[in-house]
Amino acid sequence: MAAYDKADLERRMAGSVEALKHDLGGLRTGRASTALLDPITVEVYGAHMPLNQVATVSAPEPRMLSVQVWDKSNIGPVEKAIRSAGLGLNPINDGNTLRLPIPDLTEERRKELAKLAGSYAEKARIAARNVRRDGMDSLKTDEKKGVYSEDERKRHETEVQKLTDSTIADIDAAAQSKEKEILGQ
């Protein structure tokens, strides 16, 4: 049985692109997006829980998010978690709901967000390269076991490299698109 599994490598590389797109979706571009609050965890009931497990997040207006907390006793911890998340949001508590006006992005903040998008992309590139390394290692192991000849191994290595190149191109395209959106170009 061969350790090299092309379908598994494709799935893992596609996963690194999807993870990047999810991370980029949380970056603010001046429009309200419910994905902005996805990374926030709230300390409730003695545990850290994702915000979307204690409240409903919606975008009723283009520059406003609304957080409807299900259990009123959790409004304080949710408000605290949003304030301390470093997103530059200031919740307005009106009893049952937290309203989050999305402020205009300053030029400095846009540059910070563009830099953050670049670091997310680099993490995704590293993940893709790690998948490539795993694939290459398994091909070499298979060759030593006699599963593949040297020519077959080289042919498969070329496939793995093409897959890696294509994945990194997808990562770069997603990051460049988000940076342009953030910088308003």
pLDDT range class, residue 94, cuts 50, 70, 90: confident
Residue 77 Cα to chain centre, angstroms = 24
The answer, yes or no, to whether residue 100 has pLDDT greater than 80, is yes
Please state, in angstroms and rounded to a whole number, the distance separating the CA atoms of residues 113 and 110: 5
pLDDT score of 62? 80
pLDDT score of 155? 94
The least confident of 19-28, 74-83, 160-169 is 19-28
The string of pLDDT tens digits covering residues 12-69 is 999 999 988 888 877 766 667 777 787 788 888 888 888 888 888 888 888 888 989 8
The answer, yes or no, to whether residue 3 has pLDDT greater than 80, is no
pLDDT score of 178? 87
pTM over 0.75? The answer is: no
Q: What are phi and psi of 97, to 5 degrees?
A: -125, 150
From 11, 98, 112, select the one nearest 51 (Cα to Cα).
98
Of residues 41 and 184, the one with the higher pLDDT is: 41
The answer, yes or no, to whether residue 1 has pLDDT greater than 60, is no
The string of pLDDT tens digits covering residues 108-158 is 878 888 888 888 899 999 999 999 999 999 999 999 998 889 999 999 999
The answer, yes or no, to whether residue 72 has pLDDT greater than 70, is yes
Average pLDDT over residues 102-111: 80
Beta strands in the chain (DSSP E): 41-44, 47-50, 55-61, 64-69, 92-93, 97-101
pLDDT range class, residue 101, cuts 50, 70, 90: confident
Pure H helices in 4-45: 6-25
